[in-house]
Amino acid sequence: MQQLLLSQYDSIRSARHALFSYCKRFDNSDLFKNVEAFNNNIAHLLTHVANSYLHWMIFFDQQIPEVYFNKVDVAGMEDIENMYKQVDTAVYNFIEKYKGDYEQSFTKNKSRINIPITTTPLALFTHVITHEFHHKGQILTMSRLLGYTPVDTDVIRY
């Protein structure tokens, strides 16, 4: 199963690369332009997704204090790409940590609200990748509203 998850994450990284290549074509100010329909901007959503990976793969899993990427520290796509290098490391470490036991349930406290959550490593992995694709769809729609023509950023592209 470890090889399957690694292969799946490589496909996700490839799709992410397609999104980042597309975003690099934008005027940098458009990354930070608030899109009223979403009450958000592209850079903030990309930061949110990176922080979600950290939250579930590190902070929740290891029950350690949270130190998130700060959206005000992001100046452009280079900063975003550097965040995702750290995300990749967190995901690879998570996959390695649970190799051979991705479906074993465990219960840990969710920080801030301090309630127990019972889940599995496979469910956490699935959660963060589907969360990323959910927001990627929003980002592509935001880009269209900013006047760009979205490109294919699916896992299977043609």
Please report, for the chain, the start and end positions of each structural domain, with discontinuous segments joined by +. 2-145
- pTM equals 0.95
pLDDT of residue 116: 94
DSSP 17-83: HHHHHHHTTS-HHHHS--BTTTTB-HHHHHHHHHHHHHIIIIIIHHT----PPPGGG--SHHHHHHH
User: What class is the 2-145 domain?
Assistant: mainly alpha
pLDDT of residue 148: 98
Q: Is 90 exceeded by the pLDDT of residue 50?
A: yes
For residue 119, report the phi and psi dihedrals to the nearest 5 degrees.
Answer: -155, -170
pLDDT at 158 over 90: no
Q: What is the pLDDT of residues 105-116, one digit of tens each?
A: 999 988 778 899
Instruction: Please give the Cα distance from 100 to 120 (Å, whole number).
Output: 12
Least confident of 91-95, 100-104, 129-133: 100-104
Residue 113: predicted pLDDT = 82
Share the mean pLDDT of the chain: 96
pLDDT at 7: 97
Q: How far is CA 82 from CA 49, 79, 89, 106, in A?
A: 13, 5, 11, 31
User: In this predicted model, what pLDDT tens digit does every residue of 67-99 receive, in sequence order?
Assistant: 999 999 999 999 999 999 999 999 999 999 999
pLDDT for 82: 98
User: Would you say residue 100 has pLDDT above 90?
Assistant: no
Average confidence (pLDDT) over 40-60: 97
